[in-house]
């Protein structure tokens, strides 16, 4: 067996294929999470994955370890409960932008205030994928979606500012920059307090096509050309990805 | 002498969704969707791009190790 496939021990291969559309980036994030677990050689019995509702929310069920697919927006409080009951566990939240920042946004605010030791991986496809492509809290200004046919007029959620306001760990990557994405998740898992990894992910079917991308590969090329890696910033610019510095850690 | 193939691409057709990501990442055009099915030829250089970018765990690349032989004489 090549080293590149060892991470599969963290996944339930028997449940594949995943329910995601052809070209959806969720599978790439799922793999990166398993690869990060493998890199840290985590004990399966010491990791719990929690998801909320949405396409990304389906991810929890594919991990071959204890996982919970909970109610919409409630992945973070449920994860905090698990961590409180057994602080020896590595508790990972694996969910969508709508789930974590929309309906679950208030839980995120208070979890950062408490700095609960969790790793939150946000599949940020800038859309409500599962329900057909409505604007989400991360949809960019002027972007056409099902609910914003003339372009989105609302400023997207500044996730970075919110996470960093309470000095929690913030990293951003994309599904094109896979080695970097894995590094971000590894560093997040190593962080002693709350860590958040913002993953820019392609939803070709309910977002990409509507805004003019031909296929998933074209979206990945857009990420390649648009984002530059900067792992040394205090605060990332819009076109930067990286692991931001966290004061006092 | 033709270029030796350096890897074997194993495709799991039950997992493959024919999203067409891997053929566009392959630097040697070793992968292609033909008649609705992903096929691989014998030009693999074992760069692992297809395996890395496949969202569906449908591809595994296995390296082929060639033994270097010195011509006699
Ligand atoms: C309480 C409740 N409200 C609304 C819904 C409908 N709903 C299902 S998934 C979803 C959006 C999920 O968006 P996101 O978290 O971004 O996931 P994605 O599908 O984009 O991966 C919504 C609004 C629901 N299931 N439950
Ligand atoms: S709707 Fe979008 S996010 Fe959901 S599975 Fe399809 S491509 Fe992925
Ligand atoms: Mg989403």
- pLDDT confidence bin for A249, thresholds 50/70/90: low
Tally of domains in chain B: 1
Domain that holds residue A230: 3-243
Does any domain span residue B1? Answer: no
pLDDT score recorded for residue A100: 98
pLDDT of residue B70: 73
Q: Which of A107, A131, A139, A175 to mutate to test the pocket of ligand 1 (most atoms within 8 A of CB)?
A: A131
Q: Is the pLDDT of residue A180 over 80?
A: yes
Residue B70 lies in a domain: no
Domain carrying residue B16: 7-63
Q: State pLDDT tens for residues A189-248.
A: 999 999 999 999 999 999 999 999 999 999 999 999 999 999 999 999 999 999 998 876
pLDDT tens digit string along A87-116? 999 999 999 999 999 999 999 999 999 999
Q: Whose CA is nearest to atom 6 of ligand 2?
A: A21
What is the mean pLDDT of the segment spanning A110-123? 98
In a domain, B73, yes or no: no
Question: Using CA atoms, how far apart are residues A57 and A72, in angstroms rounded to an integer?
Answer: 9
**pLDDT bucket at A77, cuts 50 / 70 / 90:** very high
Contact B55 A5 (CB under 8 A): no
Note whether residue B57 is domain-resident. Answer: yes
Ligand at shortest distance from the CA of A204: 2
Angle separating helix axes A26-39 and A178-190, nearest 10 degrees: 50
Q: Which residues of chain B have pLDDT under 70?
A: 1-2, 73
A171 CA to centre of ligand 2 in angstroms? 23
Q: Is the pLDDT of residue A48 over 90?
A: yes
A33 touches chain B (CB under 8 A): no
The answer to the question of residue B16 being in a domain is yes
Return the pLDDT at A4.
86
- Report yes or no on B69 lying in a domain: no
Chain A, 189-218: which have a CB under 8 Å from a chain B CB? 215-217
CATH number (domain holding residue A205): 3.40.50.970
The answer as to whether A249 is a domain residue is no
pLDDT average, residue stretch A67-76: 98
Q: How far is the CA of A112 from the centre of ligand 2 (A)?
A: 28
CATH number at residue B15: 3.30.70.20
CB contact under 8 A, B63 and A18: no
Query: pLDDT digit string (tens) for A124-143?
Result: 999 999 999 999 999 999 99
Q: Is residue A164 part of a domain?
A: yes
Nearest to A23 by CA among A229, A240, A207: A207
Q: Is residue A30 part of a domain?
A: yes
Query: Is residue A72 included in any domain, yes or no?
Result: yes
DSSP B55: T
Cβ neighbors of B20 (< 8 A, separation 6 or more) are: A22, A23, A215, A216, A217, B33
Is it the case that residue A145 has pLDDT exceeding 60? yes
**Looking at the domain assignment, is residue A190 inside a domain?**
yes
Per-residue CA distances from A2 to A6, A100, A159, B60, B67 (Å): 7, 35, 37, 9, 19
Over residues A39-48, the mean pLDDT reads 97
Q: Is the pLDDT of residue A70 over 80?
A: yes
Can you give the pLDDT at residue A2? 76
> Is there a contact between B53 and A31 if contact means CB atoms under 8 Å apart?
no
Q: pTM to 2 decimals? A: 0.96
Is B14 a member of any domain? yes
Q: Is residue A177 in a domain? A: yes
The reply to whether A186 falls in a domain is: yes
* Residue B2 distance to chain A (closest CA, Å): 26
Residue among A146, A109, A108 at smallest CA distance from A127: A146
Alpha helices in chain B (DSSP H): 22-25, 49-53
Structural domain total, chain A? 1
The answer to the question of residue A215 being in a domain is yes
């Amino acid at each position: 067996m090549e080293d590149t496939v060892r991470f599969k021990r963290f996944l339930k291969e028997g449940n594949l294929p995943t329910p995601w559309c052809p070209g959806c980036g969720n599978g790439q994030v799922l793999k990166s999470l398993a690869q990060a677990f493998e890199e840290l050689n985590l004990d399966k019995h010491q990791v719990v994955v929690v998801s909320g509702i949405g396409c990304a929310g389906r991810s929890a069920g594919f991990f071959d370890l204890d996982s919970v697919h909970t109610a919409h927006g409630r992945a973070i409080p449920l994860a905090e409960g698990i961590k409180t009951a057994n602080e020896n566990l590595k508790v990972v939240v694996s969910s969508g932008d709508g789930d974590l920042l929309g309906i679950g946004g208030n839980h995120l605010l208070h979890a950062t205030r408490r700095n609960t030791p969790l790793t939150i991986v946000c599949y940020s496809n800038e859309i409500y994928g599962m329900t057909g492509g409505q604007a989400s809290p991360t949809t960019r200004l002027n972007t056409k979606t099902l609910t914003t046919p003339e372009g989105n007029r609302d400023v997207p959620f500044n996730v970075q500012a919110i996470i960093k306001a309470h000095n929690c760990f913030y990293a951003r990557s994309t599904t094109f920059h896979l080695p970097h994405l894995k590094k971000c998740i590894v560093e997040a898992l190593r962080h002693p307090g709350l860590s958040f990894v913002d993953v820019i992910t392609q939803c070709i079917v309910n977002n990409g096509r509507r805004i003019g991308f031909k296929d998933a590969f074209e979206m990945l090329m857009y990420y390649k050309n648009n984002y530059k890696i900067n792992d040394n910033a205090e605060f990332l610019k819009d076109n930067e990805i990286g692991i931001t510095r966290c004061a006092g850690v | 002498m033709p270029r030796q193939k350096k890897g074997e691409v194993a495709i799991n057709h039950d997992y493959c969704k024919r999203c067409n990501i891997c053929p566009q990442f392959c630097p040697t055009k070793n992968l292609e969707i033909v008649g609705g099915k992903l096929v691989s030829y014998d030009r693999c250089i074992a760069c692992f791009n297809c395996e890395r970018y496949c969202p569906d765990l449908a591809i595994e690349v296995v390296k082929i190790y060639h033994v270097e032989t010195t011509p006699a004489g």
